[in-house]
């Protein structure tokens, strides 16, 4: 019982710490990995709280698939959160034309 | 100013979550007497072994008691897969091929992926075939199989999911689900009624229609998630 | 040390963690400018709500709701099973949450394709 108590408390504190890190981190790839770690800790907590089905679902979907779709999105967009867009008028209109051609 | 308002809102939300939860006693017995059930949870716990002879009560709830809900859930997943395909659609230029990965992966990753890929598929199939006996089921097994496909897609440049096959698997699994449900309507009284022999508890062939439906759900979820991952991986912006 | 209730400490830890996750996620959704950060905030809110549901269904010294022995009649001699209903609901919610996240991220990719930025304070035009 003591072991259960200590491990649940440690996991709860870790959960909050990793969540704060995921929100505060400017590099989105690190934030995404932190989101995966939230799912990992949550999966262990579900197992400790006698919910093995939910733990298995969270392990398969939360850790692997959600993380990978975030990574794919970051590959196709920008990586830094504080990225400043440098726009010049001519370039912007060229981009617009290209997008319209693709639609 | 905005930060102040947001903090105020967070304080209100936090207080309104804290106040009711402080009344809730953690770990208290909330489902009551199992022999004479007064709550839904106690009813499910007491009736699952005798009515359905399914060892895993959560499977019994997801597939049988709330089977219609699960049908809606797989439809939502199907809609999500279709929606992603239509949102990200763009006409290809002449001679342009979509590539899953832009750089070839290392020899080590390729050899390891080829070694571990069949094991992942077998694990996923095990999880959804034994969904009524052990923790797991169609959703978990389907997600594990999709993870195996993902590993191959990321390791090999020319590994692609065949979308025709995926569509067929998905449609057949969905048709199986609905026709088993309609079979319940024909033989018994209600949609998704358990009309097959339920067998004995803890046998592989027990639970009537529950293993059939969960296997169909497993195939459907695996095909849908693999389709989503293939769509997302084959777009290239830069 | 005997008069301190273990369940009370556990309740503070687990309920506190879930309320904390919901608030952190809400903060990210409301304050962050980058669209991917907003989706991360949504998935953190999801995680908090799932933990809350499982914690409400937990019964101390209970076992998971899976019958193990052949021919066992019911829950016997003082062993309790935890409430299966919240677990079934959370099972559904996790899968739907994945679908929601995937659609949201594909919308982010589509917005980036048009505006060449994913920060909402740099998206000037409303039309796309």
The listed range with the strongest mean pLDDT (A88-92, B89-93, C110-114) is C110-114
> Given this model, what pLDDT does residue A95 score?
58
3-state SS, residue C66: strand
End-to-end CA distance of chain A: 61
CB distance B207 to B132 below 8 Å: yes
Q: Is the pLDDT of residue A88 over 50?
A: no
- In the stretch 35-74 of chain A, residues with CB closer than 8 A to chain B read 52-53, 55-57, 60-61, 64-65, 68-69, 72-73
Tell me whether residue C24 is in a domain: yes
Q: What burial class does residue C76 get, using C-beta atoms within 10 Å of its C-beta: 0-12 exposed, 13-18 middle, 19+ buried?
A: exposed
Q: What is the pTM of this model?
A: 0.89
Q: Is the pLDDT of residue A93 over 70?
A: no
Number of independent structural domains in chain C: 1
Check CB contact under 8 Å for B17 and C81.
Answer: no
In the B/C pair of chains, how many CB contacts fall below 8 A? 149
> Given this model, what pLDDT does residue A76 score?
87
Tell me whether residue B25 is in a domain: no
End-to-end CA distance of chain C: 64
Check CB contact under 8 Å for C88 and B49.
Answer: no
Q: What residue numbers bound the domain in which C28 lies?
A: 6-61+78-115
If one counts every other C-beta atom within 10 angstroms of the C-beta of residue A41, the result is 22
Distances (CA, A) of B144 to B60, B148, B157: 21, 7, 21
Kindly indicate the confidence band of residue C124, based on its pLDDT and cuts at 50, 70 and 90: confident
Instruction: Give exposure, B53-73, as e/b (b: 16+ Cβ within 10 Å).
Output: bbbbbbbbbbbbbbbeebbeb
Tell me whether residue B24 is in a domain: no
ipTM surpassing 0.90, yes or no?
A: no
**Each residue's pLDDT tens digit in chain B (238 positions)?**
889 999 999 999 999 999 999 888 888 888 888 778 888 988 998 888 888 888 889 999 999 898 899 999 999 999 999 999 899 887 665 555 555 556 778 899 999 999 999 999 999 999 999 988 888 889 999 999 999 999 998 888 888 888 899 999 999 999 999 999 999 899 988 888 888 888 887 788 888 889 999 999 999 999 999 999 988 888 765 5
Instruction: Tell me whether A14 touches chain C (CB under 8 Å).
Output: no
Distance CA B84, CA C20 (A): 32
Check CB contact under 8 Å for B41 and C84.
Answer: yes
Provide the percentage of residues in chain C whose pLDDT is more than 70: 88
Distance CA C48, CA A23 (A): 14
Average pLDDT over residues A68-97: 72
Residue closest to B130 by CA, chosen among B67, B214, B235: B214
Average pLDDT over residues A45-70: 92
- Rounded to the nearest 5°, which phi and psi values hold at B89? -70, 135
Q: What burial class does residue B207 get, using C-beta atoms within 10 Å of its C-beta: 0-12 exposed, 13-18 middle, 19+ buried?
A: buried
3-state SS, residue B121: helix
| Residues present in chain C in total | 128
* CATH code assigned at C20: 1.10.287.3510
Q: Is the pLDDT of residue C53 over 80?
A: yes
Average pLDDT over residues A48-52: 92
What is the signed CA dihedral for B115, B120, B126, B128, rounded to 10 degrees? -160
Nearest to B26 among C10, C65, C69 (CB): C10
Distances (CA, A) of C93 to B77, B154, C86, C89: 12, 28, 10, 6
Q: What burial class does residue B234 get, using C-beta atoms within 10 Å of its C-beta: 0-12 exposed, 13-18 middle, 19+ buried?
A: middle
> Given this model, what pLDDT does residue B89 score?
82
- Rounded to the nearest 5°, which phi and psi values hold at A61? -90, -50
CB distance B140 to A56 below 8 Å: yes
Distance from CA of C74 to the nearest CA of A (A): 18
Instruction: Tell me whether A38 touches chain C (CB under 8 Å).
Output: yes
C-alpha C12: how far from chain center: 17
Tell me whether residue C121 is in a domain: no
Kindly indicate the confidence band of residue C71, based on its pLDDT and cuts at 50, 70 and 90: very low
Distance CA B224, CA B69 (A): 18
Instruction: Tell me whether A21 touches chain C (CB under 8 Å).
Output: no
Q: What residue numbers bound the domain in which B151 lies?
A: 66-89+99-233
Distances (CA, A) of B138 to B133, B142, B144, B165, B174: 12, 6, 10, 19, 13
CB distance A81 to A54 below 8 Å: no
Number of independent structural domains in chain B: 1
- Rounded to the nearest 5°, which phi and psi values hold at B110? -65, -45
Q: In the beta sheet, which residues pair with residue C63?
A: C81
Tell me whether residue C102 is in a domain: yes
Tell me whether residue B148 is in a domain: yes
Kindly indicate the confidence band of residue A49, based on its pLDDT and cuts at 50, 70 and 90: very high
Distance CA B142, CA B225 (A): 8
* Mean of pLDDT over chain C: 86
What is the signed CA dihedral for B227, B228, B229, B231, rounded to 10 degrees? 80
Q: Is the pLDDT of residue C2 over 90?
A: no
CB distance B219 to B229 below 8 Å: no
DSSP type of residue B56: B
């Amino acid at each position: 019982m003591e072991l259960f108590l200590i491990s649940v408390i440690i996991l709860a504190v870790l959960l909050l710490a990793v969540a704060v890190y995921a929100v505060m981190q400017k590099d989105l790839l690190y934030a995404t990995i932190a989101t995966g770690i939230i799912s990992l800790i949550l999966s262990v907590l579900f197992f400790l709280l006698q919910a093995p089905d939910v733990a298995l679902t969270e392990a398969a979907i939360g850790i692997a698939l959600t993380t990978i779709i975030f990574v794919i999105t970051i590959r196709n967009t920008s990586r830094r959160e504080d990225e400043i867009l440098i726009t010049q008028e001519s370039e912007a209109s060229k981009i617009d034309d290209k997008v319209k051609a693709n639609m | 100013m905005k930060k102040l308002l947001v903090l105020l809102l967070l304080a209100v939300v936090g207080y309104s979550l804290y106040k009711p939860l402080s009344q809730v006693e953690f770990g208290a017995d909330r489902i009551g007497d199992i022999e004479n059930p007064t709550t839904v949870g106690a009813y499910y716990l007491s009736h699952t072994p005798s009515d359905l002879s399914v060892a895993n009560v959560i499977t019994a709830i997801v597939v049988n008691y709330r089977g219609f809900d699960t049908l809606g859930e797989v439809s939502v997943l199907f809609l999500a897969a279709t929606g992603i395909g239509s949102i990200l659609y763009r006409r290809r230029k002449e001679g342009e091929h979509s590539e899953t990965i832009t750089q070839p992966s290392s020899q080590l990753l390729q050899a390891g992926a080829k070694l571990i890929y069949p094991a992942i598929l077998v694990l996923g199939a095990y999880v959804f075939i034994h969904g009524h006996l052990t923790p797991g089921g169609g959703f978990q097994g389907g997600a594990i199989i999709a993870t195996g496909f993902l590993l191959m897609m990321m390791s090999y440049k020319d590994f692609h999911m065949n979308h025709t096959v995926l569509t067929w698997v998905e449609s057949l699994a969905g048709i199986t689900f609905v026709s088993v449900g309609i079979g319940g309507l024909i033989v018994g009284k209600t949609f998704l009624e358990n009309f097959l022999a339920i067998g004995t508890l803890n046998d592989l062939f027990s639970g009537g229609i529950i293993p059939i439906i969960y296997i169909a759900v497993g195939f459907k979820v695996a095909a849908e998630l693999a389709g989503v991952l293939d769509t997302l991986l084959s777009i290239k912006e830069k | 040390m005997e008069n301190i209730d273990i369940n009370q400490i556990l309740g503070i830890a687990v309920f506190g963690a879930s309320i904390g996750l919901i608030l952190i996620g809400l903060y990210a959704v409301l304050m962050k400018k980058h669209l991917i950060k907003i989706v991360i905030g949504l998935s953190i809110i999801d995680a908090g709500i799932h933990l809350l549901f499982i914690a409400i269904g937990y019964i101390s010294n209970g076992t998971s709701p899976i019958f193990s022995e052949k021919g066992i009649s019911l829950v016997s001699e003082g062993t309790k099973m935890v409430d299966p209903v919240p677990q079934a609901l959370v099972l559904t919610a996790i899968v739907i949450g994945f679908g929601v996240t995937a659609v949201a991220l594909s919308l982010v990719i589509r917005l980036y394709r048009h505006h060449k930025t994913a920060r909402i304070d740099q998206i000037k035009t409303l039309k796309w």
